[in-house]
Structure 1
Amino acid sequence: MPTNGTLGFIYKFSDWAMKLAYLNILWILFTIFGLIIGGFFPATFALFSVIRLLLQNREEASVFKTFWSFYKKDFWKSNSIGWSIILIFIIFYLDIQFVQESTNPFLHIFYYPLLILAFIFSLTVLYIIPTYIHFDLKMVQLFKNSFIIMILNPLNTITMISGVMIIYFVSMYIPGIIPFFGGSLLALFIMIAALRSYKKVEDKKEHIESVRFHQEFKK
């Protein structure tokens, strides 16, 4: 098939559209397969993992086999990470509700700081799945590194937020796309921005190491 010009663009666009639709169906089916409660996070981690490979042109096996492999491999750890995130959100929600409904004026001081912290945590969550897939970190390191990468890459974080909002509003007006592109398109937006962030961080790290090497060499 042609890879250049208009025909090449049409082919690549069609190929990506088919793969994203197929991945979204797999994501829904495997979420149901895990009885939703146990399947949502493994299916989501597998979805992001396959999309990362596709973006890096490293699809060495069929989409289904690759998806299933990631689903099995990360089943327990993805649930551990996912439900930890849910628990933290619940704690934030309960704290905000408690402070908001409290009759103690002193506690009201903490209302806006809690909202800000909850918002920062929400932005950090956007990086958690991509960061785990890219670096395979332990839980504490995962949350810490996701936060640092989010802070260091405001433009890519804005890209993620914009992607989430665009897909949300399009889904509101065209709900028929949700079974075919709802989850996979969202994962694509987030993964693209995350990979750019990682590249930027790695470039900075290489630059710092290069500067240190030259400084040591001159001594």
Structure 2
Amino acid sequence: MGKKDLNQINYSLGEWLVKGVTLQFLFIFYTVRGGIFLGFFPALTSTFAVIYQFMLGENNDLDYRSLFKRYYHKQFKESNLLGLFIIGVGAFLWLDLQISATYLKISMLHVLLLFFFVTYIATVLYLFPIYIRYQLSPILTIRQAFIVSFSSIIETCALFLGIGLVSLLGVALPIVFIGASIPLLVWPINWFAIQACTKLEKKIQSQ
């Protein structure tokens, strides 16, 4: 590998680092702008949308700041509805797990609740990529995320692994992780979700 190649790699890494830090700033800014609670999920949706466009690679000169703002305002209501699902169902399942572990102590019931909780986590991880890709209503997005998570077990496992690797990166390079943690976590989720959706689409088309 020559000096020119190394310079190109360093330039590309620097460019993506700037994009990651910018997206992190936009995420924080719009989360606070929405009052934190109401701003978090629209800002998260916008982050998924921008990174999804990066992955499509159709426009290298993408004005992702304007795209972020546009998605934030356009999908504000739907994003918060998805957020309510995440918080509500997650809190309900977590409470059930605590009651089962502390009071009931029935092994089979606890295993069943753990299965439901893992299913919930897998569904949640697919929610925003699927919402961005298909532009479905919140109810249909939840249903489709559930279907994709179970029909693409390999991609779902890879998605969990990708999040784990990014978390390890955060331990190894805490400064980079702090500066771009949200984009770094969104990237593998988006990537493997796209692979799972593409796989399912091809399977449906071939039938």
- Report the structure number with the largest CA radius of gyration: 1
**Equivalent in the alignment of 1:63:** 64
More off after superposition, 6-15 vs 81-90: 6-15
The range that moved more, 14-23 or 49-58, is 14-23
Shift of 1:9: 4.2
Name the counterpart of 1:155: 154
Q: What's the offset of the Cα at 1:109? A: 3.8
Q: Is the Cα contact below 8 Å between 1:157 and 1:193 reproduced in 2? A: yes
C-alpha offsets along residues 37-90 of structure 1, whole Å, 9 cap, x if unaligned?
111101000000000011112447512111000011111110111121111010
Letter in 2 for 1:62: D
| Count of equivalent residues | 203
Find out whether 1:49 has 2:12 as its counterpart. no
How far apart in 2 are the matches of 1:128 and 1:28?
21
TM-score, normalised to structure 1, is 0.84
Give the deviation of 1:204 after TM superposition.
1.3
Aligned to 1:128: 127
Structure 1 vs Structure 2: percent identity of aligned residues?
25
Aligned to 2:187: 188
- Counterparts of 1:1-219 in structure 2, within 5 Å, are 8-59=8-59, 61-102=62-103, 109-208=108-207
**Within 2, Cα distance between the matches of 1:78 and 1:117?**
23
Structure 1 residue 139: Cα displacement: 2.4
Cα distance, 1:72–1:58 mapped onto 2, change above 3 Å: farther
Unpaired segments of 5 or more residues in structure 2? Answer: none
TM-score if structure 2 supplies the norm length?
0.88
**Is the partner of 2:14 in helix, strand or coil?**
helix
Contact 1:24 1:179 in 2 (8 A): no
* Counterpart Cα distance in 2 of 1:181 and 1:67: 16
1:16 alignment partner AA: W
Instruction: Using the TM superposition, give the Cα deviation of residue 201 of structure 1 relative to its aligned residue in structure 2, in angstroms.
Output: 1.3
Q: In structure 1, the residue corresponding to 2:37 is in which secondary structure? A: coil
SS at structure 2 position matched to 1:39: helix
Question: Per the alignment, in what secondary structure is the counterpart of residue 81 of structure 2?
Answer: helix
